[in-house]
Amino acid sequence: MCVITFHESRITNHESRIMAPIYCQKCGRANGPAAKKCIWCGVAISADGAVGKLETTRVEIGYLDGLDRFEDPGPVRLSINGEGIEITELVPGSRSVKLTASSIVEANVVDASVMLEGERVRSRWWWLALGPFAIAVPGRRTPETKKHDYILTIRYKAEGQIKNAVFHREDRSGLAVVEGLARIVMALTRMR
């Protein structure tokens, strides 16, 4: 007979080290123990929970409207840091706009996704068997599909007016990306 014993203090210490979250001093939410920046607000955190400056976040996103230097919608790169947001055109990449942190008012997210109705599909044997009367047989419907579209609106002050810069993502993970960007932009507005 073999008896296996575990030293209880080793297990407890090891588990507490792995599972201990780090709390952001800015927003107060829990983050993983190895987190370098808060997943909720984007502010840099260290292992002891101290808050640092806002780390630079870069993401490629689709531009829709709201910036004077860009006429047409297209892909852009957003670079968000403690000084503000820099929007750079990817193709051809010659134009860029800088929104200072003091000019940013807020950021909003809208889920503009739509469900596309499935099509009716009839098998060919209905046409062969019934001829023109096959139209009366409804056939089966393909499943509905979701067309993803998540919109990020950044409100900013320019020329004495409040304007909206509108961006979007059209992929399945777009909602998480756009919501994360909105949290980081809101953290930027709170830091000024």
Domain ranges of the chain: 20-54, 56-113+148-192
Q: Which fold has domain 56-113+148-192?
A: PH-domain like (2.30.29)
pTM above 0.85, yes or no: no
Taking the CB of residue 13, how many other CB atoms lie within 10 A of it? Answer: 11
pLDDT at 139 (0 to 100): 64
pLDDT at 152 over 50: yes
Q: What does the pLDDT look like over 56-93, one tens digit per residue?
A: 889 999 999 988 888 888 899 999 988 899 999 887 76
On whether the CB atoms of residues 156 and 68 are closer than 8 A, the answer is no
Bridge partners (DSSP) listed for residue 99: 85
User: How many Å apart are CA 130 and CA 120, to the nearest integer?
Assistant: 17
Radius of gyration of the chain (CA): 26
